[in-house]
Amino acid sequence: MKRYSYIASGAMIGAVLRLTISLVSAYAGLPFFTGTFIVNMLGAFAAGYIMYRIIETGDRGKDFFITGLLGSFTTFSMLSYEQYMLLSIGDYVMFTVYIAINLMSGLILAALGFQIAGRRS
């Protein structure tokens, strides 16, 4: 039961952070997909960093940080929906750029987080 409490606590925080970033980006007048991009890139970096630490220390924190917090903070479903929206309005160039930037940047940031965590050991 304790494990589920860690996951639920992390998920609550992640969801509130995700909503906050989406609202701020919308308020700033940024394109509709900016909030999702920001949270996914922050999440990719954090996942790399946190996973290095978890590997180094054992399983402590994985339920809270990875499954709970980052699981609700990042959003593949919204990324998929936004890609669909770009296709449905016929913006094929932005669709291609958006998917490429998300995939490449996410991979780079996850690796960077992992590397930075390793240097701090």
pLDDT at 121: 61
Rg over CA atoms, the chain: 16
Given the structure tokens 């590997």, which residue do they identify? 55
pLDDT at 60: 76
Q: Residue type for 37, please?
A: F
User: What is the pLDDT tens value at each position of the chain, 121 positions in all?
Assistant: 899 999 999 999 999 999 999 999 999 999 999 999 999 999 999 999 999 999 888 777 899 999 999 999 998 999 999 999 999 999 999 999 999 999 999 999 999 999 999 987 6
pLDDT at 106: 96
Global pTM reads 0.89
